[in-house]
Amino acid sequence: MARLIIVSNRLPITVDKKKDGDLFYHPSAGGLATGLNSLDNDLNKIWIGWPGEIIEDGWEQKAISQELTKDNLIPVFLTQEEKEFFYEGFSNKTIWPHFHYFTQYTSYRDRYWQAYKKVNEKFAELVCKHIQKDDLVWVHDYQLLLLPQMIRKAFPNVSIGFFLHIPFPSYEIFRILPWRRELLNGFLGADQIGFHTYGYMRHFLSAVYRITGYDHKFGKINVGNRIVNVDVFPMGIDYQKYATPPNFVEEKNGIEAQFLDKNQKMVLSIDRLDYTKGIPERIKAFRQFFEKHPHYIGKVTLVMVVVPSRSNVDQYADLKKELDTLVGNINAKYRTFNWTPIRYFYRSFPFNELTSMYRAAEIALITPLRDGMNLVAKEFIAAKEQSKKGVLILSEMAGASNELTDALIVNPNDSVDIVNALLQALEMSLEEQEERLVKMQENLKKFDVRNWAETFMNEQIGLIEFKHKQKTNLINETIEAKLLDDYNKAKQRLIILDYDGTLMNFNKDPQAVVPDQELLDNLNILHSNDKNKLIIITGRDKDTMVKWFSEIDIEMATEHGVWIKRKGKWRTFTNIYDTWKKDVRPVLENLVHRTPGSFIEEKDYSLAWHYRKIDKDLGEKRIREFKDVLHYLTANLDLQVLEGNKVVEIKNADVNKGKAAQYWLNDKKWDFILAIGDDRTDEDIFKVLPSNAYSIKVGLNQTKARFNIMSVEDVRTLLNKITSKT
Ligand code: GDG
């Protein structure tokens, strides 16, 4: 039976080793375990991760493993050094600050990177030891970015999902990292990659395109022989746990009562100690609030919970000092004998007390400078299920702000914005509070953590089915055997091949795609066989093809069929003309001027604008602009605009590869036809072929061809097999 193997840095159970050596087991904080444990499908689950304590003694490791195995948990034991360099180092001093836009804190130490790779390998080894047939793997978060690719290497067909819980930064930030390529390749080992927001997804796709060159269509990245699905899965919370907490006893003399008694309003903030959370900025804005609205002095209190974290990292210790000073100053300035402006707690609280605070607070002030999602904001809204009273002030830099649009959304760097939001929240009518809360609660109830985990898994399972379906059109062993057999039996064979993207991979410089010797040898074998007619039909210009294929006298069509070489002679359509070029060229030149990195290729009867070296979105935008101008310019001319792979070409309307193919198709009664091509212009060839022809599209895009083949490499392998039969 298929199982789900969850892999995350931390296990949902933490092991604590007391001074006397006793081992204690308790649940780790966080909603991930709830979400995953509630997955209500047929999958059995195992979970692999670090139990949070350094255990170097072999016997102890064995005892812990035995204990955890009872709950299907498998521990990865880290050494002190690994904890220091992998966890505190690369994870928390490199990726964490960098992905949260704190590049000033990013550490670029190779020592950290080496440890990161090593620990990812350690995880990979253990995961691979446990993978069985049909298992699904789901890897979590920034500590394990290399893991998907490592697992993929060992198990090319296993289904792997990956979810990033923190932001993915814009390309301009991401590219700064020396290990950007390795990190992206790590991600791309997965079949599915999930982010909290569309913004993170967009940044990721853009980084992938610019750094690795892999393009995508609607979030599906074609990585050669696989498709990687990238999508948005905003994580929810365990709604009922906060709406109707178990064992919750309304404390008569609890926090809420204390504030009510004194006619004071409670503003709440809860964060882990982290520079990403905007805590100093928040305190300063709170101080400004009293400066601007002094009549609220004595009437509003900020209850600020800061949970200790990563105290071994310098910036965290510095931040702690800064907070102590800021809170000290404001309290010293404004406190009275029965009121303190900020009640600051530097510790964590048991769940029940946390929930009491959520219920008691009139306002939650959650203003991170950057936050992947921020579950506290969602928990606060859920805790208001019964009272329907409360206002959420939320930073637009938290992923949650995309969903909680009925909160008061603020820019955490804009203290005036925060001050205004505080005033608006304090003065908001109960009707408006309820109206805003209800809308958000409805959404959070529907899209809770179970729904999040289920949606992710269902989509991942769907991909397995999709892959399976795709494979039916892909050239497999059976189709290949039939093709080779038909080829063998045939006496009059027509073989039509496209060049770029079919026989050779693309290059940023089109002139660098010179055919290699192996290809030339293979084509020569095909060409020299009396039973074969081998043709190349390409969009390239005649001169380049003549130069590159000087050794083999292959018949061909260039410029999509403008020039036809048959029986050793080149000729062109008689009715073709190029007088239009003088009108169109200046427009293209202007385009190049405005789009650095693009260039014009002039062929005999066409003009092509290449944008392979530039940003894809900019290229597409320019094409849209250009098409309008061209329509105007060519209103009375018989021209067409062909869109190829990162190139647009303007030529006479009468020319296309299908028409070119017909010269040879009509020559004889062929008993075997093979045509292979990769882009839209090759579809014109597929359209004119008889239904029993072997038409093959390179890549998995929609096509008129009968079959698909994954890559140029696969085309070359197929040709090798054909020539070995020749
Ligand atoms: C990552 C991303 C993303 C906090 N203080 C106490 C306490 N908590 C609980 C809260 C909440 C959780 O910890 C913190 O939520 P975050 O959203 O900050 O999540 P993290 O796991 O820290 O961080 C973040 C998240 O992953 C999920 O993808 O939202 O952006 O950085 O559940 O309630 N719990 C208790 N006592 C406390 O004092 N018991």
Task: Please check the confidence at residue 253 and state whether its pLDDT lies above 60.
Answer: no
Q: Whose CA is nearest to atom 12 of ligand 1?
A: 30
What is 176-227 written as a DSSP string? TSTTHHHHHHHHTTSSEEEESSHHHHHHHHHHHHHHH---EETTEEE-SS-E
Assign residue 483 the CATH number of its domain.
3.40.50.1000
Confidence band for 69, pLDDT divided at 50, 70 and 90:
very high
- C-alpha–C-alpha distance, residues 160 and 381, integer Å: 33
Banded pLDDT at 726 (limits 50, 70, 90): low
Higher pLDDT, 377 or 644: 377
Ligand 1: nearest atom to the Cα of 350: 39
Q: CA separation (Å) from 200 to 204, 233, 396, 565, 688?
A: 6, 11, 14, 50, 44
The mean pLDDT value of the chain amounts to: 92
Residue closest via CA to ligand 1's atom 1 equals: 165
pLDDT one-digit tens code per residue, 490-535: 999 999 999 999 999 988 788 999 999 999 999 999 999 999 999 9
Q: How far apart are the CA of 272 and the centre of ligand 1, in A?
A: 8
Residues with a catalytic annotation lie at: 498
Complete edge-to-edge strand list for the sheet that includes strand 606-610: 599-602, 606-610, 647-652, 639-643
Distances (CA, A) of 718 to 152, 470, 484, 696, 708: 25, 19, 9, 11, 12
CA–chain centroid gap for 498, Å, is 32
- The answer on 434 and 546 residing in a single domain is no
Domain boundary among 396, 428, 446: 446
> How much distance in Å is there from the Cα of 4 to the middle of ligand 1?
24
Listed residues 594, 621, 652: the one ending a domain: 652
Mutate to test the pocket of ligand 1, among 196, 238, 373, 456 (most ligand atoms within 8 A of CB): 373
644: domain CATH number?
A: 3.30.70.1020
Domain termination site, one of 232, 247, 282: 232
pLDDT in tens, 653-684: 888 999 999 999 999 899 999 999 998 899 99
Ligand 1 atom closest to the Cα of residue 371 is 30
Q: 150: closest CA among 286, 7, 19? A: 7
Say if 461 falls within a structural domain: no
Residue 347 Cα: closest atom of ligand 1 = 38
From ligand 1's centre to the CA of 663, what distance in Å? 68
Mutate which of 376, 378, 444, 456 for ligand 1 pocket (most atoms within 8 A of beta carbon): 376
Of the pLDDT bands very low, low, confident and very high (cuts 50, 70, 90), residue 176 is very high
Pocket perturbation via mutation, ligand 1, pick of 375, 379, 380, 402 by most ligand atoms within 8 A of CB: 375
pLDDT value at residue 41: 60
> What average pLDDT score do residues 411-428 get?
98
221 and 341 part of one domain: no
Q: How confident is the model at residue 719 (pLDDT cuts 50, 70, 90)?
A: very high
**Considering only CA atoms, which residue is closest to atom 6 of ligand 1?**
348
User: Tokens 């002139």 correspond to what residue?
Assistant: 511
**Residue position matching structure tokens 């689950």:** 45
Q: Which residue minimizes the CA distance to atom 30 of ligand 1? A: 372
Pairwise CA distance, residues 97 & 105, whole Å: 6
- pLDDT at residue number 399: 97
Does residue 252 have a pLDDT over 70?
Answer: no
466, part of any domain: no
**Are residue 544 and residue 435 in the same domain, yes or no?**
no
Query: What ligand 1 atom has the least distance to the C-alpha of 165?
Result: 28
Residue with the larger pLDDT of the pair 161 and 27: 161
Strand, helix or coil for residue 528: helix
Same domain for 419 and 317, yes or no, is yes
Span 97-125, pLDDT tens digits: 999 999 999 999 999 999 999 999 999 99
- Give distance in angstroms: CA of 548 to centre of ligand 1: 61
Residue nearest to atom 15 of ligand 1 (CA): 375
Task: Give me the pLDDT at residue 651, please.
Answer: 86
pLDDT band for position 1 (cuts 50, 70, 90): confident
120 lies in a domain? Answer: yes
- What's the gap in Å between 248 CA and the centre of ligand 1? 20
Residue 68 pLDDT class (50, 70, 90 cuts): very high
Which residue would you say has higher pLDDT here, 508 or 307? 307
**Rounded-to-integer distance, Cα 13 and Cα 75, Å:** 10
On whether residue 27 sits in a domain, the answer given is yes
Q: 270 in a domain, yes or no?
A: yes
Residues 667 and 625 in one domain: no
Query: Do 214 and 284 belong together in one domain?
Result: no
Residue 245 domain flag: yes
Q: What is the pTM of this model?
A: 0.81
* CB contact set of 252 (below 8 Å; sequence gap of 6+): none
The band of 725, judged by pLDDT with boundaries at 50, 70 and 90, is low
Based on the fold, state whether residues 271 and 419 are members of the same structural domain: yes
Structure confidence at residue 34 as a pLDDT band (50, 70, 90): low
Q: Is residue 47 part of a domain?
A: yes
Task: Assess whether 585 and 700 both reside in one domain.
Answer: no
Ligand 1 pocket residues where CB is under 6 Å:
29-31, 165-166, 235, 270, 272, 305, 307, 348-349, 351, 354, 371-376, 379
CB 386 within 8 A of CB 429: no
User: What was the pLDDT predicted at 653?
Assistant: 82
Distance 308 CA to ligand 1 centre (A): 12
Domain of 433, CATH number, reads: 3.40.50.2000
**Closest ligand 1 atom to 375 CA:** 17
How does pLDDT run across 202-239, given as a tens digit for each residue? 999 999 999 998 988 889 998 877 889 999 999 999 99
For residue 121, what are the domain limits? 3-232
The pLDDT value recorded for residue 624 is 82
How many Cα atoms occupy the beta-carbon half-sphere of 309 within 13 Å?
A: 15
Bigger pLDDT: 509 vs 404: 404
Mean pLDDT over 378-386 rounds to: 97
- Lowest-pLDDT range, 596-600, 609-613, 629-633? 629-633
**Max alpha carbon distance in the chain (Å)?**
104
The answer to whether residues 27 and 120 belong to one domain is: yes
Same domain, 248 and 225: no
In a domain, 468, yes or no: no
Q: Pick the more confident residue, 194 or 35.
A: 194
pLDDT tens digit sequence for 546-580: 999 998 999 999 999 999 999 999 998 767 888 88
- 351 Cα nearest atom in ligand 1: 39
600 φ, ψ to 5°? -100, 140
pLDDT of residue 635: 66
Give the Å distance between the CA of 157 and the centre of ligand 1: 34
535 and 613, same domain (yes or no): no
How much is the average pLDDT of 640-654?
A: 84
**Domains of the chain: total:** 4
Percentage of the chain modeled with pLDDT above 90: 74
> Are residues 546 and 425 both part of a single domain?
no
